[in-house]
Amino acid sequence: MSNNHMNETLRYKQKLCKVSVLTTQVSAGSFQHVLEHIVALSERKLSSYVCFANVHMIIEAFKDSRFQKVINRADVVTTDGLPLTKYLRVFEGIAQPRVAGPDLFPALLAQAAELNKSVFFYGNTPEVLEQLRTRALRNFPQLKIAGIFSPPFRTLTPQEDAEVVAMVNETRPDFVFVSLGCPKQELWMHQHQGKINACMLGVGQAFNTYAGTDQRAPAWMQKNGLEWLYRMYCEPKRLAKRYIYTNGLFLYLVSRLYFRKIRNKELLPV
């Protein structure tokens, strides 16, 4: 690793910074730095949003320049997928940890309870939301849940959307956790920046895993970047085609970039 890369690594450890993974800007920094930065966003009382990037999101952004802008304009984009952390280590010399939604979500609930902040749960099904609320209050009795809302499984009319915005803002939450699935939740947050007066976080499947309706992959699979394989095993009809395509394309693009940098002597072989 070059001295420049070593210096960059130290800088990223000291401060949350954006760095590229293919065409997407992700936030490099420790789990604690990401947590503190998100809490600080809520302190500023500004409309902001946070994305949790995995290979699927990176590929969606690579294919669609409009979606790429949505992700790159987010205040924080965490390294949810382990392949992203490996990418940053190889290409940027950054020892970036994984900052996954299912791990950061309960940590933020704990912070909200401790700091007397309120949360709003938006998206998913009424059943999941109720189980989510029950477990959150059991784990954090002091947590202020401003509200929960399960929107209809269709595009809202402008009037309905305005009513949702008014409903959420009336409860004055500090955090709005959004579970609509990628890319719908990211587009929703982007469209509502400046309308929803809170820090919005697209946590997706974290609602289900925390509520207990979905089982998370075993720890050894998480550690080795195989959580996607476990999810595909659980939902093959919905996820198999997506994971095979996105993971395959990501591997191809990264391999092509790696060998080009080796050929141009911009990178040392791993």
Q: What is the pLDDT of residues 222-238, one digit of tens each?
A: 776 767 665 765 667 67
Global pTM reads 0.87
Tokens of 253: 């693009």
Does a structural domain hold residue 48?
yes
Report yes or no: 60 and 53 within 8 Å, Cβ to Cβ. Answer: no
Q: For residue 270, what pLDDT is reported?
A: 61
Does a structural domain hold residue 251?
no
Q: For residue 70, what pLDDT is reported?
A: 98
> What count of other Cβ atoms lies within 10 Å of the Cβ of residue 31?
16
Does a structural domain hold residue 44?
yes
3-state secondary structure of 201: strand
Q: For residue 105, what pLDDT is reported?
A: 97
Q: For residue 241, what pLDDT is reported?
A: 75
Report yes or no: 85 and 79 within 8 Å, Cβ to Cβ. Answer: yes
Does a structural domain hold residue 10?
no
**Which residues constitute the domain of residue 63?**
18-214
Q: For residue 44, what pLDDT is reported?
A: 86
User: What separation in angstroms does the CA of 106 have from each of 64, 129, 139, 206?
Assistant: 31, 15, 9, 9
CATH number of the CATH domain containing 81 = 3.40.50
Closest CA to 57 of 216, 205, 199, 267: 205
Does a structural domain hold residue 86?
yes
Q: What is the DSSP letter of 157?
A: P
Q: For residue 232, what pLDDT is reported?
A: 64
CA dist., res. 259 & res. 124, Å (int): 42
For 237, phi then psi, to 5°, come to -65, -40
Report yes or no: 13 and 30 within 8 Å, Cβ to Cβ. Answer: yes
Does a structural domain hold residue 153?
yes
Does a structural domain hold residue 232?
no
Does a structural domain hold residue 243?
no
Q: Within the chain, which residues score under 70 in pLDDT?
A: 1-14, 217, 224, 226, 228-230, 232-235, 237, 239-240, 268-270
Q: For residue 10, what pLDDT is reported?
A: 39
HSE (side-chain half, CA atoms, 13 Å) at 233? 10
Q: How far apart are the first and last CA of the chain?
A: 10
Looking at the 3D structure of the chain, how many domains does it have? 1
